[in-house]
Copies of this chain bind each other. A is one copy, B any other.
């Protein structure tokens, strides 16, 4: 089944898009940008995939304007691609068929904060740091932290997660409802503000992670958490990766519930030592954070120390004071930049998979061996409480053989994860980079996904070329 029709620029399709853009310009005048540099900024993410710029970038101010733009584009069968901050990692924003990119930079209103209900409703362009700055005086915080200062709309569309997910969940868990514009220009809200419901199909979760291919998220209501009375940070190195993973498994079985459990592999630690002038042992190392009452968090940190000691853990350090915590976690915070400094001037892109935690040791160890054999320099950083880890290769993307080696490395990493009952991506998404892995993971489920796509976007106008394989035989 071929759904994504490849189109060549300069054809009837691009003529239609030009007409759509002319109509949009009449309505939105200088909020429609067609300069190449703006278009290129919007046609690319941090990946090896070539830039594919849209035909125009437009900056809507309201949900109603988004609906109007979608209706105009629909009339001319012009693709529509929603854009938050452009920090996705798998080519989610490429415009292989051209079309119009909707940049949410103007939609940054925080519409309501309900302190009693621990939720807030924001426009899709608000970033997580903007929200947390706004919340500073409320005693509440927004938990999902994917590293980048992404927009909440983009985070919902890609089902983002990050370091806090092990305790507080991913975007899948914290989004209460979304407001969205569908391919036919209909706008609707996917649910009430109740904490739970069993009324009808779960359209909220259908849109979360759909990468802008089923509807465009314009607003969302998300859960907040009370800032805990106490936050404790801890660091512990292990003789073996297995010891680190086993400690996490045992802690979870005992009902411990750390807020963050991050793993850095020995090469990443070496990079951090060099980058930040630290003297950490070059061993598999866990970075932890415990949230709770004063006694409760201390007790969890102590119990974890006991468990770690039983699994070859040493040098267990923990701290409650903010400054000491920052010092302890410095290596984790700067991991990305430290990795990049390993090979100055090199390109870097991040590949992620996620496996059941019982398979994590094996999966990481095989991946490490594979990295060594590939001749590519790459560090491993993991959200180990979730079984999710990233490989950060440093390479020259313009060198075809290095590029191929990295692609093959990622290929084997995905196949390995899927063979261990895991997923081809824990938090980066499919985008255009991972479409070929979907069928191995879902089998007949892919046809069900395609049926839903066809039912809700029959002309394939919303972010075409993403999630599903295109071309002959797809």
Contact = CB atoms under 8 A, between A and B. Distances in A.
Nearest to A215: B448
Interface string A168-198: 0110110000000010001111111111111
A175 B6 CA distance: 38
Interface in A408-434: 417-418, 421-430, 434
Nearest to A228: B255
Contacts of A214: 201
- The winner among A197, A206, A210 for most chain B CB atoms within 10 A is A197
Interface in A358-395: 358, 386-388
Interface stretch (A17-25, A112-120, A260-268): A112-120
A303 B292 CA distance: 12
A189 B303 contact: no
A117 B226 contact: no
B423 A201 contact: no
Contacts of A189: 442-443, 445
Contacts of A201: 206, 209-210, 214, 449, 452-453, 467
Task: Give this chain's copy count.
Answer: 2
Nearest to A201: B449
A200 interface: yes
A463 interface: no
A441 to B, nearest CB: 6
A437 B192 CA distance: 13
A208 B202 CA distance: 8
A399 interface: no
A356 interface: yes
- Which residue, of A187, A200, A209, A418, has the highest number of chain B Cβ atoms within 10 A? A200
Contacts of A438: 199-200
Contacts of A198: 158-161, 209, 425-430
Interface string A446-472: 111101111110000000000100000
Contacts of A140: 253
Interface of A: 114-119, 139-140, 158-161, 165, 169-170, 172-173, 182, 186-203, 205-206, 208-210, 214, 225-229, 249, 252-256, 291-296, 299-300, 303, 354-358, 386-388, 417-418, 421-430, 434, 437-438, 441-449, 451-456, 467
18 contacts: A116-B356, A140-B253, A172-B205, A186-B447, A187-B444, A188-B444, A192-B418, A194-B426, A196-B386, A197-B423, A199-B437, A200-B430, A200-B441, A203-B445, A255-B291, A293-B296, A296-B296, A454-B455
For the complex of A and B, 4 pairs with smallest distance between CB atoms: A296-B296, A205-B205, A455-B455, A116-B358
Given A448-B456, A451-B456, 19 more contacts: A165-B196, A188-B444, A190-B445, A192-B421, A192-B423, A194-B386, A194-B421, A196-B388, A198-B425, A198-B430, A199-B441, A200-B441, A200-B449, A201-B209, A201-B449, A226-B253, A226-B255, A296-B299, A296-B300
